[in-house]
Amino acid sequence: METARALLLCWATSCAWPAVAAATSRLKSPALPILSEREPLPSKGVSGCSFGGRFYSLQDTWHPDLGEPFGIMHCVKCICEPQRSKRKVYGKVSCKNIKQDCPEPNCDDPVLQPGHCCKSCPNGESDRQPMETLFDGYEYFQEKEGDLQKSYNDRSYLSSEDMTPGERTDFVALLTGLQDSWMPTSSGVARARFTLTRTSLSFSITSQRMGQPSKVVLINSDGSTVFEYRVPRTDTDVICGVWKNMLKSHIQQVQAEQIRVSLVTASGRREEIQGKIIKHRALFAETFSATLTSDKEHAGMGGIAMLTLSDTENNLHFILILQGLIKPTHTGEWVHTLLQSESRLHHLLREMRANITSYDPDFAEVFTDLNSRELFWLSRGQLQIAVETEGNDPNQISGFITGRKSCDTLQSVMSSSEALTPGKTGAVGSAILHLHDNGTLHYQVQVAGVASKVIGVTIEQKPQRRSKRSVLYDLTDAFSPSLGGGHAQGILGRVEARHIHMLLQNELFINTVTATHPDGELRGQIHSLLYGGLDARRHEMPFLLAGQFVSPPVWTSAAGHAWVSVDEQCHLHYEIVVNGLSKSDDLTINAHLHGLAEIVDMDDSSTNHKRLLTGFYGSQVGYYTDSCNRKICFAKSYSGES
Ligand SMILES: *[C@@H]1O[C@H](CO)[C@@H](O)[C@H](O)[C@H]1NC(C)=O
Ligand SMILES: *[C@@H]1O[C@H](CO)[C@@H](O)[C@H](O)[C@H]1NC(C)=O
C-alpha cells in the first residue's frame, strides 16, 4: 500500500557532517561503587597500605569512599606509595584533590556526569586536552584491557554515563505499608526508581503483594501533593511515568530528598504504601534487583536489594534497604542474609550475619565467587535473597533476584561509523531488546539500506584483541533477508548472568555482517534509553533513518531510528536516537548543529510537503511535542495500518 510509507523521517542533506574528537569517550567509569565491608586481610609480610578498613597494594590508586551521605569522593585520589626504609619497602597513603587538574571544557554548558570529577561537554564535544595526559602514571582513566590498540574505533566504548546528554541523577524508594500509625494498611512492597534530568523526573515502579495501583502521588515535607499520576490500565507489571516541566523548587526538593512517593489502589479495599525518595550510590552499578516481602499480613515489612556482579570475578555485590524488620526501640539487631535457590526447595546456598540498626537499616555486602550453578539460577531469576532476624519469633522477608527492571528501552542503532572497520555506507540497523524475569531475551532487529546480502547478525562484546570480534550470541538463523536489508525477531533462552549484567551496563554490541563487509558493515552499542513518556516505544518498532533513504542517497556513516506517535489532541510526539553523527575524520570543524530531522509527507503527489521537526546535535534527541496539522495526522493514521 502506497500510504503505508506516508510518514518518513530522513536526514537533511544540506548540513555538513561535523567533526568532533571523541576524547571524552575514554573516560571509563570508576571501579564498582559497592564495596565489600569485609575485605580479605592481607597476609603477613605483604607490603601495602591500609585505608578505610581496606588493604591496598603498592601503587594502587583509589577514590576514598566515605560512606553515606558523601559516597565516593571522585575528586580525591589516593595512592599507596612505596617508601623505602633500610630493610624493606612499605606503603604510605597520599591523597590529593585532582579537581584543579580538570581540563577546561570547550563548551558553554559543561555538565558533571555522575561518577566523574571534571565537568564535560554534554554532547561529546571535545575538551581542549585529552584526559589521559593529565593522569599520566595513574590507572584511573585507563582501559580495562591494556592490550587494546588505540587505533581501534574508540567510540564503541562509551559508557552509559557518556551516552547520556545532560545531567541526570538516579534515586530510589522503598515503599511499604509502614506509616506513622501503628496499624499498617497494606502488605504491599514496591520498589521505585527515579531519574531526574534537567526538568523532568521519570519513574519506574514495581509492586508486590497488593492490588493493582491506580495512582502515584508525590508528597513534599509539608504533606502537600506536588504531583499525581493516574496509572493507566496496562498489561505490564511496571508503572511508567514522567513528571515533566517541573518547577525549580520541586527539583530542589527532589534533590534534597524531601519528597515521598505514595502508591494507592482504588478498587476494592483501599491500600496505600509510601516511601522516601533517596539518592543512592549503588544505583549506577545496579544490574540485578529484588523486592523482599514478608509472608505476614500487614506487617509493614519490606526491603529492596540492589545487586551487581564484579567486573572480573563472579562476586555478587549487594545493598539491602530494609523497612520494618527491626523494631524502632532496638538499637541494633543481628540479621542473617541468605541466598537460596528455588529449584531445590529453598536449598540454602549462602548465609551471612550482620548487625543492623533501625535508624540506618541498609547495608552492603558481597557473596564471593558464585559457582556455575548459582550463576545459572541467577540468570534464570531462580535465586532468592532473604533476610531474617534472630530470636524466638524471627521476622523474615525474601524475594527473587532478577535483571534490573525499568521502563527504559534496551535498544541499539547500528551504523557504519561504529563498524570495526568504520565505513560510510548510508545503511542503518536497529535493535530493540526486552529482558524477561526468567532471563529470556526477546529481540527485534531491522536492517535497511545495505548494498549486499546480510549474512550475519550477532550480539557481541567488546573485542578482546584488536578488531577481533567476540561473538556471544548468533541471531543469523532468525534473520529473514529482503532487498536492502531484512529483519529478525526471536528469543534467546539461555542468556548467562554475566551477559545480563553486561547488557544492563551497556557493554554489549550488535553487529551486522554483509557479503561485502565480512567483519560487519553495521554495528551499534546496546544501551538503555531513558523512558521519556512515549508509549509507542513499547508497542512499535522505530522508523529507520538512513542516508540511503534520502533522495538522492547520502553515503553517510551515521544512522538513526525514531519513534513517532500522534495523540488525541493531534500533537506529534517523537524520539530520535542517532548514532555516528559526531564521528568524522576531520577534527578541525566543531559545529553545534549536527543534524536536522524533517518530516516528509509523501502521500501528496502534487507537492512535496516537508516540515522541519528539529535541529539537534549529539547522539540523541529527547522527547518533543509539536502541534501538527491534519495532514500529518492523516498520514500517520495510514501508516499505522501497515
Ligand atoms: C549492634 O551494634 C550497635 C552499635 O554498633 C550496638 O549498640 C548493639 O549492641 C549491637 N547489637 C547487637 C545485638 O550486637
Ligand atoms: C520466560 O518468560 C517469558 C515471558 O513471560 C515467556 O514468554 C518465556 O516462555 C519464558 N521462558 C522460559 C524458558 O520459561
- Cβ(355) to ligand 1 under 6 A? yes
Mutate to test the pocket of ligand 2, among 436, 441, 489 (most ligand atoms within 8 A of CB): 436
- Cβ(237) to ligand 2 under 6 A? no
What's the predicted TM-score (pTM) here? 0.72
Atom of ligand 1 nearest to the CA of 333: 13
pLDDT tens figures, 390-446: 877 888 999 999 999 999 999 999 999 899 999 989 899 999 999 999 999 999 999
Four-CA torsion 567, 568, 572, 573, nearest 10 degrees: -20
| Sequence ranges of the domains in the chain | 2-20+408-638, 48-162, 169-403
Residue-wise burial string across 147-160, b where 16 or more C-beta atoms lie within 10 A, e elsewhere: ebeeeebbbbbbbb
- Cβ(179) to ligand 2 under 6 A? no
Alpha helix (H) residue ranges in 208-362: 248-255
Q: Which positions ≥6 away from 182 have C-beta within 8 Å?
A: none
Mutate to test the pocket of ligand 1, among 331, 336, 360 (most ligand atoms within 8 A of CB): 331
Four-CA torsion 397, 402, 405, 410, nearest 10 degrees: 170
User: What's residue 97's pLDDT?
Assistant: 61
- Cβ(276) to ligand 2 under 6 A? no
- Cβ(390) to ligand 1 under 6 A? no
* Dist CA 384 CA 381 (whole Å): 8
Q: What is the 3-state secondary structure (H, E, C) of 426-456?
A: CCEEEEEEEECCCCCEEEEEEEECCCCCEEE
- Angle of helix 497-504 versus helix 372-380 axis, rounded to 10: 50
pLDDT at 293 over 80: yes
Task: Please compute Rg for the chain using Cα positions.
Answer: 26
- Cβ(438) to ligand 2 under 6 A? yes
> At 107, which amino acid appears?
C
- Cβ(330) to ligand 1 under 6 A? no
Angstrom CA distances, 571 to 82, 231, 260, 639, stand at: 65, 21, 32, 16
Mutate to test the pocket of ligand 1, among 330, 357, 358, 360 (most ligand atoms within 8 A of CB): 357
pLDDT tens figures, 5-56: 223 333 332 222 222 222 222 222 233 333 333 333 444 456 777 765 677 8
Which residue has cell 482504588? 266
Angstrom CA distances, 338 to 265, 347, 399, stand at: 32, 10, 11
pLDDT tens figures, 166-205: 467 899 999 998 655 555 578 899 999 999 988 899 999 9
- Cβ(61) to ligand 2 under 6 A? no
Enter the C-alpha cell of residue 80.
599507596
User: Given pLDDT bands bounded at 50, 70 and 90, which one contains residue 360?
Assistant: low
- Cβ(493) to ligand 2 under 6 A? yes
User: What's residue 103's pLDDT?
Assistant: 76
* Among the listed residues 226, 93, 158, the one whose alpha carbon sits nearest the alpha carbon of residue 417: 158
Number of CB atoms found within 10 A of residue 172's CB:
22
pLDDT at 502 over 80: yes
Going along 324-424, which residue ranges are E strands?
Answer: 333-341, 347-356, 362-367, 383-389, 396-403, 409-414
